[in-house]
Amino acid sequence: MLTSDPARTRLAPARVRPRRPARPPASVWPYLLVAPTVVGALYLLLYPLVRSVLISLQHFRTGELIRGGARFVGLENYRELLTGPELWTVLGRTLLWTAVNTVLIVGLSTAVALLLVRLGRRMRLAVMSVLVLVWAVPVLAATTVFQWLFQSQLGVVNWLLTTLGLERFDGYTWFADGLSTFVILVVLVVWQSVPFAALTLYAGMTTIPDELFESARIDGASAAQIFRVITVPMLRTLFGLVTSLEVIWVFKCFAQIWAITQGGPDGATTTLPVHAFRVAQSLHRYDLGAAISTLTVLILLVVLVPHLRQLWRDERAEGGAA
């Protein structure tokens, strides 16, 4: 008869199951997955902003850029800007530039979106392809094309106008006049911005049920009445969002203006971003340039935050009503 040895039994090691590493709860995984992107975005967005604010509060010139040790001066740079006349002139021009471009962009984009809704399938695809191609053209490439179009001696615009019998445009220098330069830049920025806004609005219009339009047509409503009573209320939030994005895009527009005129002639196209760059690079007043950039951000916040809050309230109200 076999018996177990108690001593051996006591000495035999017990089997220990390997412990599995603790896993975070399922509700935490979405946050862990997006955390690297959020951290990278915060670094790329917040660090330049914080650095700009710090420089605007310091005495930061070429010497400080080379050897460091910038001296803290508080709000002295902002006081110098706000008490000078040039900032207010540039600010007024920037607001005019933003208003003209935004109105034209939103108006033309709405018209193009309404056109896309009414086109047939093949024609709609062709127009959307052209819009995407225009949108895909690099900013500087499109700017170079516009410079060539309005060139005084070999430009297509002068050649076409002269061919039509307008001899005074033979060799006309478009970029020597402030108003004509301003208009050309407006045309360029609108041309570059309409595709994005038009495709966004068209995508929103396709979500409106066709039954609403059919009922309105049966009741005898015109196209303008349908747009005013159905399309605008249904897409109020989208219109507001597109307008806000275009305000930001136009207000901080820099590359097109700098590539064509560098803010000229005689400052006729100098906006806040161009003014900040000229002050920082030409005068080596990096502190003043940073202060102008900070004021630009503050102006955008003052203008857009109440508007975006109202859009958020409207969206919540519509969601609650639904």
What is the percent of the chain with per-residue pLDDT over 70, rounded to a whole number?
89
β-pair partners for 155? none
Enter the tokens of residue 258.
Answer: 């700098």
Asked if residue 191 is part of any domain, the answer here is yes
Instruction: Name the residue with tokens 């540039």.
Output: 90
Asked if residue 16 is part of any domain, the answer here is no
Count of domains forming the chain: 1
Asked if residue 20 is part of any domain, the answer here is no
Rounded to an integer, the average pLDDT of 263-273 is 89
Q: How far apart are the first and last CA of the chain?
A: 82
Reported confidence tier of residue 1, pLDDT bands at 50, 70, 90:
very low
Structural domain for 217, as ranges: 85-321
Reported confidence tier of residue 24, pLDDT bands at 50, 70, 90:
low
Asked if residue 240 is part of any domain, the answer here is yes
Give the predicted TM-score (pTM) of the model.
0.83
Q: What is the pLDDT of residues 242-262, one digit of tens each?
A: 999 999 999 999 999 999 988
Asked if residue 165 is part of any domain, the answer here is yes
- The CATH number of the domain holding residue 266 is 1.10.3720.10
Q: What angle do CA 288, 291, 295 make, to 5 degrees?
A: 140
Asked if residue 231 is part of any domain, the answer here is yes
Residues in the chain: 322
Enter the tokens of residue 121.
Answer: 């399938």
Asked if residue 17 is part of any domain, the answer here is no
pLDDT of residue 249: 92
Cα 234 to Cα 50, 208, 284: the distances in Å are 39, 7, 50
Assess contact for 155 and 170: CB atoms under 8 A. Answer: no
Asked if residue 113 is part of any domain, the answer here is yes
